[in-house]
Amino acid sequence: MAEHIDGRALDEVVSFTSELIRIDTTNRGGGDCRERPAAEYVAERLAATGLEPVLLERTPGRTNVVARIEGTDPSADALLVHGHLDVVPAEPADWDVHPFSGEVRDGVVWGRGAVDMKNMDAMVLAVVRAWARAGIRPRRDIVIAYTADEEASAIDGSGFLADHHPGLFEGCTEGISESGAFTFHAGPGTALYPIAAGERGTGWLKLTAHGRAGHGSKVNRANAVSRLAAAIARIGEHQWPVRLTPTVRAALAELARVYGIAADPAAPDFDVDELLGKLGPAAALVESTVRNSANPTMLEAGYKINVIPGHATAYVDGRILPGGEDEFRDTLDRLTGPDVDWEFHHKEVALQAPVDSPTYAKLRAAVEEFAPEGHVVPYCMSGGTDAKQFSRLGITGYGFSPLRLPPGFDYPALFHGVDERVPVDALHFGVRVLDHYLRAA
């Protein structure tokens, strides 16, 4: 398949990434974000290709952009390509380069969103514009969506689009977005390219302990803070049992093959922790997805040091594997005990996508075309993406935002991290791979 990515597209992906970073779309939660300037930026550049992007808002300023590229085969299912425009907060004092400068220095683009995920937003823009210049049309319809609010509840973004504008995604059966097809250096000469084919479900919890209010100097056997602290300690120390999903089994089998380790993840006596111990750095790709998890993150109690409050509250970040919700609920009931109530503060589904599908094969082939030295492996994301909300429309999601990264570049650590950045060469690679896949899809 001939490449249709020109030098202008390679320049544009860098400038688009930089310019999007300079548009501060920090999502602090609770509705404190404004994506509209970034949405107008991408909509203007899509419209310049002849597309007709639609801007949609549930809340003023929380803007989403959707456009459709008509394919040459009207009988083919459509493909969704989506990316979010918001980013997590960044404290400039902690950074070597200002997080909203978009500075290009020594072949690297710096700033919040460089990897999560204004780089992919820019790649899509660059590919679409290159197609327009070359007169290229894909085989199947491609729906492009730039969303708001992914870094919080997605209620103003993909959730709003899926629930209130499903017609814009008519015919879409599959989608691609963050995060996958990046280089994961797993040892000397071993470059992995994980493609996501699943996500753990989101189970953010609110715990409330009730007790008897009183003076801090008096004996109190019904101290809400003590009750909550005990429950939180039990949750934090709990060892969740292994639960291997089809995606994770496939990931373990492929990683064992890459490392030349004899292992059968489908065997009844398979010991996942033993295999993880042999995988070195690559264990990080799967170790968070072989079990459910629940990590305490926030505590709220009291208003004065000598007053025992009548209630105390905590929040827990729970993540649930496909098929693991009953176990999760039962375990939380047991760990919280009779004196602490819990409820879902925010809940979203777990996802699985087949790794033996024609789509996955094409995703693999696109990476191998430009990174023949790499080993493509499936994996399940420990967290979640907008694919959860779009799954309500029957859209199967894969994580695919390709980047070829140099050794020592800790890509996963830069998600929500300090000094987030992306190499220019990685963006060029991503545009080429994305173009190859989308035309083959």
- Known catalytic residues are 86, 150
Cα 87 off chain centre by: 12
397 in Cβ contact with 173 (< 8 Å): no
Mapping DSSP onto H, E and C, the string for 235-289 reads HHHCCCCCCCCHHHHHHHHHHHHHHCCCCCCCCCCCCHHHHHHHCHHHHHHCHHH
Tokens read off for 243: 């639960």
88 in Cβ contact with 114 (< 8 Å): no
Judging by DSSP bridges, how do beta strands 78-84 and 142-147 pair with one another?
Answer: parallel
Give whole-number Cα distances, 284 to 56, 198, 255, in Å: 38, 16, 11
- How far apart CA 239 and CA 236 sit, in angstroms, is 9
- Please compute, for residue 395, the number of CA atoms within 13 A of its CA located in the half-sphere on the CB side: 31
Helix or strand run (H / E) with residue 210 = strand 201-210
312 in Cβ contact with 209 (< 8 Å): yes
The residues, ordered by sequence, that sit 6+ positions from 210 with a Cβ below 8 Å of its Cβ are 224, 227, 310, 311, 339, 341
145 in Cβ contact with 82 (< 8 Å): yes
111 in Cβ contact with 99 (< 8 Å): yes
